[in-house]
Structure 1
Amino acid sequence: MPQNGRVPPIKVLRVITRLNIGGPAIHAILLTSALDDGVRFTSTLVAGTTAPHEGDMLDLARARSVEPIVLPALGREINPLDDLVALARMVQLVRRLTPDVVHTHMAKAGTVGRVAARICGVPLVVHTYHGHVFHSYFGAAKTRVFLTIERALGLLTDRIIVVGDGQRDEIAGYGVAPPGKLESIRLGLELAPLLHAEAARGRLRQELGIDASTPLVGIVARLVPIKAHEAFFDAALRIREALPRVEFLVVGDGERRQALETLVQRRGLSPAVR
């Protein structure tokens, strides 16, 4: 209701499973910061905890004046007790903050956040798919379970946002939601830091002591199964046959770090990989 002739800001509660290093966390932080002018919108960000092997994006959040509310029980792995605790805490939080919109990101937050929002009667429930686990992640039985859950959650959701038209077609094809409920919105990128990137050319080579004439090939990705670093190292072996002096940079961290270091040694790539 208007107060003193003014329409109160729309209150957005954004929920993400964890603020691990990656695109979804950056997106959630930037959205929370941008939709928080106190006039049209106020935004609150809720996040679970990162795993011990993961870095986080808390520095970016603080730089954007975003102070997330952390729910320790909200985590990536399935744990029935923790998941029930997370749901109970989320219901308490939603009832206290009385948001107009609950917008969830990533699978676990999408489950806990959407169920809590419906329990509390939130007017608008939105979920963003930054990717999905409907193929290439798990075996057939586990994938069917996740699909069943996501289809049920789709019924609880007013609008589902996907980050590209191809993903929209996939989500619709899996029966998660009808096409009319899906909205394709491509992620915005902050290009300002890249406008003067040319000035930094050669700096990394200098820091690593790599000669300017040495061919350099890199991969920037989390060290997790879906990123398929094996394909990068397969290509590295073939490239070295043609360019013996080439060097390779692997930028990232994650649960597969030790396994990939072992793989590099086993394939004889250690002298060429950093």
Structure 2
Amino acid sequence: MNRIKVKKIKFPAKVLMVLHSSGLTGPNKATVSLLKAMDKDKYKVDVACPRDGDLSKVLREAGIFRVPLEFGRNRDILTAIDLIRILKRNNYHVLHGHMGRVGPMICASGKMAGVPAIILTEHMNDSSHTWMREDKLRLRIHHLFHMLSNSILDRVIAVSECARISYIARQGMREDKVVTIYNSTRIMEDHRVLDDSARTSLREELRFGENTLVVGTVGRLIKEKGHEDVVMAGRRVLHKYPEARFLVVGDGPQRAYLEALARKEGLADKCIFLGFRRDMDDVMRAIDILVQPTHRECPESFGLVLIEAMARRKAVIASDIEPFREIIKDGENGLLFSEKDVTALADKLTILLEDRAIVRLLAERAFCVVKERFNPESAARKTEELYSDILRSKGYDLTEYA
């Protein structure tokens, strides 16, 4: 099908962002931060997403126009038909989707609708999700569809350099077609005004004292996230610092096991499992130190939770894996420990529990790094430049705002 014939664009140009998950997942939260920072005079971004769910609510509150689009394993063809209809009806200049199972379908829909620029964002460091590792046939089919979609794509955005390198290696895509634009998060400049009441409220709910040092870990409770390492390291440091407390925030298949482990190690009243929380801003304010103990087996490409904590002036400790090394310089703006090494993690925790001045210093440096490198405005400008470069390469006249 022919591409749109009109070569002169009247700004703002029209972008359709496709998000297939209805929840506030890490990728969706990063995307919302990006959308809020986009220059609406240059690009008007609509979001196609499921009608119901936390994501739709947040987009509505942010004043971002939503186009209902339903997804499901048994309705890919229907979703593609709906998406093609939406694209043709509104004459979008850019289609921006996200990798995963529906990525190839988004690409094919954009091609059939004649959208000038088609982009996907890669959020994973390894396409082999848990379900695919156990099903080699589905893994091969998944890779085949993605390789076919590469011929349609104008660019792939990787959310970290390690994700970029991984994608090029496993998909064989040209290096110049895969660019890195880091995820971003809202910067909490007004932390002194916002933190006190929320911090006090949640600590009172949990019966923590105002001066209690609280160590938190956030994420889906699966083995690859390494939460067991935090529980075992907590057992070691709490013998020396019994006044400290640990918070495990999130839910998942390992929750019952981890709670039983904490009870077995005598931490039942010192390691609190909060489950899934929607008030993550309040949770972040209540903690002092964030630990992210992810293992290499987890196909994580970026430490979004890390930069969320850093943006709220929290000291961070993370496993020494590639995605986290792009954010943290050990001893400068955070601490890294050898992956799966409980003793090393306990040693890093001890450093911070012994000296609150180090906690404050690392927290302030962490904030400065996020403000400089992982702010939404920077990500938005780079994304807008990418849209413009692709459209110009297709012969579209963007001189009106250049």
Fold in common (TM above 0.5) = yes
Q: How many residues align?
A: 258
Question: 8 Å contact 2:126–2:166 — kept in the other structure?
Answer: no
2:18: which partner in 1? 15
Question: 8 Å contact 2:33–2:186 — kept in the other structure?
Answer: no
2:191: which partner in 1? 196
Q: For 1:1-274, what aligned pairs fall within 5 Å after superposition?
A: 1=6, 7-35=10-38, 37=40, 39-48=41-50, 56-72=54-70, 74-75=71-72, 79=73, 81-135=74-128, 137=130, 138-139=132-133, 141=136, 142-191=138-187, 193-197=188-192, 200=195, 202-203=199-200, 204-224=202-222, 226-253=224-251, 255-256=252-253, 259-268=254-263, 269-274=267-272
Say which is worse superposed, 220-229 or 157-166, in terms of deviation.
220-229
Q: Distance in 2 between matches of 1:251 and 1:163?
A: 24
Contiguous gaps of at least 5 residues in structure 2: 1-5, 273-402
Question: 8 Å contact 1:233–1:264 — kept in the other structure?
Answer: no
Q: Distance in 2 between matches of 1:13 and 1:131?
A: 22
Contiguous gaps of at least 5 residues in structure 1: none
Q: 1:2 to 1:175 in 2, by over 3 A?
A: closer
1:133 positional shift: 4.2
Q: Distance in 2 between matches of 1:27 and 1:232?
A: 26
Give the AA of the match of 2:42: R
Question: 8 Å contact 1:99–1:122 — kept in the other structure?
Answer: yes
Q: 1:241 to 1:185 in 2, by over 3 A?
A: same
Question: 8 Å contact 1:17–1:49 — kept in the other structure?
Answer: no
Report the RMSD for the aligned CA atoms in angstroms: 2.9
1:15 positional shift: 0.3
After superposition, the C-alpha distances for 1:188-241 in whole angstroms (9 at most, x for unaligned) are 3321x3442486255232332112454421112234565343333333334344
Q: 1:143 to 1:210 in 2, by over 3 A?
A: same
Give the AA of the match of 1:47: C
After superposition, the C-alpha distances for 1:225-262 in whole angstroms (9 at most, x for unaligned) are 65343333333334344444442112234x43xx4034
Percent identity of equivalent pairs: 23
After superposition, the C-alpha distances for 1:75-111 in whole angstroms (9 at most, x for unaligned) are 4xxx2x3122211211221121221110002413423
Q: Normalising by structure 1, what TM-score?
A: 0.80
Q: Distance in 2 between matches of 1:240 and 1:49?
A: 46
1:49 positional shift: 6.5
Q: Distance in 2 between matches of 1:188 and 1:35?
A: 13
Q: Distance in 1 between matches of 2:75 and 2:106?
A: 14
Q: Distance in 1 between matches of 2:55 and 2:149?
A: 27
Q: 1:176 to 1:15 in 2, by over 3 A?
A: farther
Give the AA of the match of 1:175: Q
Q: Distance in 1 between matches of 2:162 and 2:47?
A: 28
